[in-house]
Amino acid sequence: MQEIKTDRVVIVGAGLGALYAALKLAPTPVVMISPEPLGEGASSAWAQGGVAAAMADQDSPESHAEDTLSAGAGTVDADVARMVTREARDHILDLTTLGTPFDRTEDGGYVLSREAAHSYARVVRVKGDQAGAEIMAALIEEVRETPSIQVLEGTMAVSLDTEGGAVTGVAITQSDADCSVSIMLRGSAYLLAGGGSGGLYALTTNPHRIRGQVIGMAARAGAVIADAEFVQFHPTAMDVGEDPAPLATEALRGEGATLINEDGERFMLSVHPDAELAPRDIVARAVFAQHQAGNRPMLDTREAIGAEIIDLFPSVAEYCARNGIDPVRQPIPVAPAAHYHMGGIATDAEGRASLGNLWVCGEASSTGLHGSNRLASNGLLEALVYARICAEGIKVQRVETQAAEINMDFKGTAKAPEADDVTRLRSTMSNNVGVIRDAKGLAEALNTLQEIEANAQSESLLNMCATATLVAACAFVREESRGAHARSDFPDPMPGPGKRSKMTLSEARAIRARVTAKTEDPL
């Protein structure tokens, strides 16, 4: 394999965490590995709700932290929650300085939306449902003008090289195919900021490349993975047959939109005191139950928002238009879809992974902020806070201020990922490791994943199998229901405080082997 050595910090990913970290590292030279042109293919750009921050006079970081702890159902790291919510305001002001056009009131304040499980309206938004795209646009413009940042668009990281428990390189291929020949890029330090795992499921709101690749490559290198079983299903993905599924942002419910079934029943009223603004896991399970009963759940914006939806929520209006839905006169069909992975590569308070010389931020990480159920709009906030923390930690050790630009010359035959196996994996995860789980389905999933992994030829599929195996194995051994992890055979949470899970891929494979052996020979 060809090797390239550089004094640059290598950042895997091109979403909000990656861009913000690259800017905070300046003037330390960095190189970003971006599968798509900047601004495309990253979950951050698709985020509709906004960034949660206590900006109102009556609100406080302490209240924000309490809501985060409550939503997380017993597995949130309280110290992390207090730190992140305390820093939120500063990051909103920083993004404003960088040019993010947040919605403002006539007196210059920030327009704030209330979303599920928040005690106050504290979600800072842009043009209603354009927060992710607009924040990304502001950061990309700044990145393009920063000479210390080099972006390798059209490249994708597929594996990590290690020595003595520390990362020493990252293998890069062209992103338009899984090349049989890759380049080993050896930098001064490594930051993984390449997204989550929603695309491991057949029904997801995530861009098509967000399929657990970054978590999987770290797991294959030996990194500890935390809270893998906690996958958040957004309750109001639009049920229109698209892959990925368009998202009907939670801010719609914050503005008063209601959930009804085909009989016109507002079913959340009997489920939770907060009705449509209950924690996401509760709403997702209620919508799922309506689906299972054949009652066709829908989001009704007609009375609460009416014709204003066109201007207030342009993305939702566009999604409706292309699917022949008039939200001013018709309710929007919805279904739960894999949306955000609370689990990921375990990090400490400084954003460090268990492998040396490796930092992680954004959805690929598991910092302890989200627990078993992420509080709405805390995802972008966490990416911002830990991008800065990681950048500061890297700068303590890496003080290079000059590095030549990298020239990549890929040579070799391209090999596409195994499409049929990818489809089989995604269907398996949706059918057996989805909104409601049980031992039988999880065992079937582990058995199928073992078969797919045994025949996998591409690095991409091996990374997907690694992350999927960790999700299923952790879900199998957590014999309780907690937050987004719901077991029909263990419907109640275990008594006492919740415990975070931590597991390596070798441990997950050992569980898979035991479960598979019992499935094949039940006697």
Q: Sheet containing 332-341: which strands, arranged edge to edge?
A: 231-238, 332-341, 298-300, 258-260
Which helix (H) or strand (E) is 290 found in, with range? helix 280-292
- Decide the pairing of beta strands 332-341 and 231-238: antiparallel
3-class DSSP assignment, residue 443: helix
- Residue 166 φ then ψ, to 5°: -125, 150
The one catalytic residue in 253, 280, 398, 478 is 280
Across-strand partners of 174? Answer: 155
The span from the CA of 287 to the CA of 230, in Å, is 18
Which helix (H) or strand (E) is 395 found in, with range? helix 378-397
Handedness of CA 128, 133, 136, 141 (dihedral sign): negative
Which helix (H) or strand (E) is 4 found in, with range? strand 2-5
Chain centroid to CA 355: how far?
21
- Decide the pairing of beta strands 178-179 and 414-415: antiparallel
Q: Is 352 a catalytic residue?
A: no
CB 442 within 8 A of CB 479: no
User: Per residue in 387-399, is it b (16+ CB within 10 Å) or e — as a string?
Assistant: bbbbbebbbeebe
The span from the CA of 455 to the CA of 460, in Å, is 13
Question: Residue 352 has which token pair?
Answer: 């460090």
DSSP-assigned letter for residue 490: B
- Residue 115 φ then ψ, to 5°: -125, 175
Catalytic positions: 280
